[in-house]
Amino acid sequence: MMSERLKSSATADIESARLTFHQLVNSLPDSALNKRSANPGWTNGQIIWHIVFAFILTPILIMILRFFGRLPRRWSKLFASALNYSTPVFNLVNAIGPRIAVKIFPRKLIVKLFDHIIDRILIILYNTKNRDWELGMYYPNRWDPINFKEYMTLKDILYYPILHLKHHLEEVAT
């Protein structure tokens, strides 16, 4: 019963994030996408792509959680430590990725990709077994110290991109 409430609540929150993202993207004229955002060194378009990237990572993070969540905790702690060590590489990809992506993906394609990822996350959510809600593991909290906790559950991972979206909303300049 608890997992059904979690699924229902998470579904509503994910759909709300979809609506928020669409409102954000639709509120910007094309000229605003190349405008500097409130986040130094990033344009609005790059921030939007960065938001999408967090949602793209979510199914991967869930897959990793399902693997490591069934192993002794020390294995995920070791894995998270290795990923924390690779933070400079992650930061480089995180910095360069949006700069390249906005040159390749027009607005319509970004929105289509976002919707596809949201649908994929919802399918994963619908197919989540009751026992999987108990899974958790250590994550590389240096990758995103604002939204990643040292130890995260499946629910935390599902809410990570939503929190990430909310964090970056104020940085988009209209």
- The answer to whether 65 and 74 have CB atoms below 8 angstroms apart is no
pLDDT tens, residue by residue, 60-116: 999 999 999 999 999 999 999 999 899 888 888 888 888 898 889 888 999 999 999
Reference 159, options 55, 3, 49, 21; nearest CA is: 55
Sequence-ordered list of residues with C-beta below 8 angstroms from that of 125, at least 6 positions apart, any chain:
7, 10, 11, 14, 158
- Domain 2-28+40-169 coded CATH 1.10.720: no
pTM of the entire predicted model = 0.91
Query: Where are the domains positioned within the chain?
Result: 2-28+40-169
pLDDT tens, residue by residue, 119-151: 999 999 999 888 888 899 998 888 777 778 889
